[in-house]
Amino acid sequence: MSRRFTPKVVTANALLEGDVVYLTEDDRWTRHHHEAELIEDEAHATLRLLHAQSQPHVVVGPYLADAVAGDNGPEPTHFREAFRTRGPSNYPHGKQAEAAG
């Protein structure tokens, strides 16, 4: 028996900046998870992922990430995706900041 499809968003990293980005319903890449297109149909999700993969000059590593409908748009359901919504983790902080200072 196959698993029931769960809602997804298309996510990737912006090629030039490396920022986490999400595909919107109107084919824009946004840095805001809540603006992403929430995809509830598996066939449509496959098409949207193929669309993202056809843009190697814009994004790298596109994939489908689980999400749920929230009050202000899609919300991540997995820790990794929630972490990715907080932005880059490569800025000096904690031990990194102490070593630089």
The pLDDT value recorded for residue 98 is: 59
pLDDT digits (tens, 9 = 90+) for 23-66: 999 999 999 999 999 999 999 999 999 999 999 999 999 999 99
The answer, yes or no, to whether residue 95 has pLDDT greater than 50, is: no
β-partners of residue 2 are none
Establish if 95 belongs to a structural domain. Answer: no
Q: 3-state secondary structure string, 26-55?
A: CCCEECCHHHCCCECCHHHHHHHHHHHHCC
Q: How wide is the angle at C-alpha 60 spanned by C-alphas 58 and 61, nearest 5°?
A: 145
Establish if 44 belongs to a structural domain. Answer: yes
| Domain of 39, in residue numbers | 8-88
Judge whether 87 and 20 are in contact, CB under 8 Å: yes
Establish if 74 belongs to a structural domain. Answer: yes
Distance CA 32, CA 20 (A): 9
The pLDDT value recorded for residue 21 is: 95
Q: How many independent structural domains does the chain possess? A: 1
The pLDDT value recorded for residue 37 is: 98
Establish if 72 belongs to a structural domain. Answer: yes
pTM as predicted: 0.83
